[in-house]
Amino acid sequence: MINPRLESDLNDYPFARLATLIADLPAPAQPIIMSVGEPQGPVPAFARDIVSRDLAFTNRYPPNQGTPDLCAAIVSWLQRRYRIADGVLDPARHVLPLAGSKEGVYAIGTVAVPPSKAGAQPVVMIPNPFYQVYLGATVLTGGTPLFLNADAGSGFMPDFDSVPTETWKRTALVYLCSPGNPQGAMASLPYLQKLIDQCRRHDAVLAIDECYAEIYNNTAPSGGLQAALAMDETGGRNPFANVAVFHSLSKRSNAAGMRSGFVAGDPKIVAMMLRWKTYGGVQVPIPIQNASAALWRDEAHVETIRDGYRAKFQLAKSILHNKGGFFTPDGGFFLWLDVGDGEAVTRKLWADGGIKVLPGAYVAREVDGVNPGKRYIRVAMVQDLETTRTALTRIAELL
């Protein structure tokens, strides 16, 4: 009656596991929640105003392919952000709005994973630790997950060169998150180009989750489209072959509740994503699409949000110093602290400090007897500056 893959191959989601871990501890009177990557800052007022203004459009079914204005705004942003020349990206072929990037990184499994490849069950490569939706897409489309540890020894980036050729031949889909969740490491342009080449040589789809791309400390991260275009020396008809990138307004614009993102890249992949969306995806309401277009066109609010994270990471550096192996991530908004036993410290911080964090083991899987997240906690720096100061001070005292 129930799909056995749901019961046997997928654990409870990390936040359900966290709830179980601390269920026997009394709830603090004034908890500070740093377990969820949900920005607590406001959505820009102009976006809220557009949603209110356009509520009358909720009597209409939204277009699956997105409004022309939203698609044009997305293309314009990609051109500015990644220095892509006019005319390279076609709003009708290269981009597709999504109900958040989560929808896309799940749907790409349905699009990219066939029933078999090279005469065997197809492989999906996943960095470890990872955003758990990658595994959900892999398991529920019948793929075999291959977890590639991204630990301190590898610069918190997966080593795709370590994968045997025979495994590559079976690989249908490769996930990468840059900046990474949770470690914040950023893939360099040469790293991306090498990975694109590997995927093309083995006819695999490369899905790059770039939802944290606008939250960075110093240098803006390179992007998958940027890398693919730089490899196109002949001006080929499809410079983005095998590549799909995913973006979101959740982190960039404090708009997690709007559920608005997009996929961009190989037009064949985008077309199949649209076909999937037509049959089983979620349309983004027209007021949200209109507000999203305005958000993609505006950079001032993004700079303000980014500066806020920089201030919080400076604060973390001054309070934590070297506790938990503290380091400032290149991008994203998580601290990835080596505390020895992530579960035990999570319980201690909740019981004694009223701080809710996430054990690193819950966003990773064991490989060859080692869970690369077991020693860590993930701390989401999403509260305001003063709340963050209070939380970090308590964490420093308790570590």
Q: Are residues 220 and 261 in the same domain?
A: yes
Q: Are residues 244 and 330 in the same domain?
A: no
Tell me which residue of 197, 156, 200 sits closest to 178, measured CA to CA.
156
What 228-234 contacts at long range (C-beta under 8 Å, 24+ apart), as own/partner pairs, is 228/193, 228/196, 228/265, 229/82, 229/84, 229/88, 230/189, 230/193, 231/193, 231/196, 231/197
Q: Are residues 183 and 87 in the same domain?
A: yes
Structural domain ending residue among the three candidates 280, 298, 316: 298
Q: Are residues 152 and 130 in the same domain?
A: yes
Let me know: does 138 contact 171? Beta carbons within 8 Å.
no
Q: Can you name the residues that pair with 148 across neighbouring β-strands?
A: 127
Tell me which residue of 224, 217, 219 sits closest to 174, measured CA to CA.
224
Tokens of 154: 């590898």
pLDDT at 33: 98
pLDDT in tens, the chain (399 residues): 788 888 878 878 999 999 999 999 998 989 999 999 999 999 999 999 999 999 999 999 999 999 999 999 999 999 999 999 999 999 999 999 999 999 999 999 999 999 999 999 999 999 999 999 999 999 999 999 999 999 999 999 999 999 999 999 999 999 999 999 999 999 999 999 999 999 999 999 999 999 999 999 999 999 999 999 999 865 667 999 999 999 999 999 999 999 999 999 999 999 999 999 999 999 999 999 999 999 999 999 999 999 999 999 999 999 999 889 999 999 999 999 999 999 999 999 999 999 999 999 999 999 999 999 999 999 999 999 999 999 999 999 999
Structural domain ending residue among the three candidates 282, 298, 314: 298
Q: Are residues 130 and 216 in the same domain?
A: yes
CA 135/CA 28 separation, integer angstroms: 33
Tell me which residue of 262, 178, 253 sits closest to 212, measured CA to CA.
178
pLDDT at 384: 98
pLDDT at 234: 59
At 370, which CATH number?
A: 3.90.1150.10
CA 66/CA 103 separation, integer angstroms: 14
Q: Are residues 338 and 275 in the same domain?
A: no
Specify if 51 maps to a domain. no
Q: Are residues 18 and 135 in the same domain?
A: no
pLDDT at 233: 63
Provide the residue range defining the domain that includes 282: 59-298
pLDDT at 236: 67
Q: Are residues 239 and 338 in the same domain?
A: no
Q: Are residues 98 and 214 in the same domain?
A: yes
CA 76/CA 69 separation, integer angstroms: 10
- Cα end-to-end distance, the chain, whole Å: 47
Give 9's Cβ-side CA count (13 Å radius).
18
Let me know: does 254 contact 39? Beta carbons within 8 Å.
yes
Structural domain ending residue among the three candidates 261, 277, 298: 298
Q: Are residues 242 and 346 in the same domain?
A: no
* Structural domain count, the chain: 2
CA 364/CA 211 separation, integer angstroms: 19
For the full predicted model, state whether its pTM sits above 0.85. yes
The sign of the torsion formed by the CA atoms of 293, 295, 300, 303 equals: negative
Secondary structure, 3-state, 73-140: HHHHHHHHHHCCCCCCCCCCCCEEEECCHHHHHHHHHHHHCCCCECCECCEEEEEECCCCHHHHHHHH
Let me know: does 339 contact 377? Beta carbons within 8 Å.
yes
Specify if 365 maps to a domain. yes
DSSP 148: E
Q: Are residues 33 and 76 in the same domain?
A: no
Q: Are residues 253 and 225 in the same domain?
A: yes
Entry field: residues in the chain: 399
CA 91/CA 70 separation, integer angstroms: 9
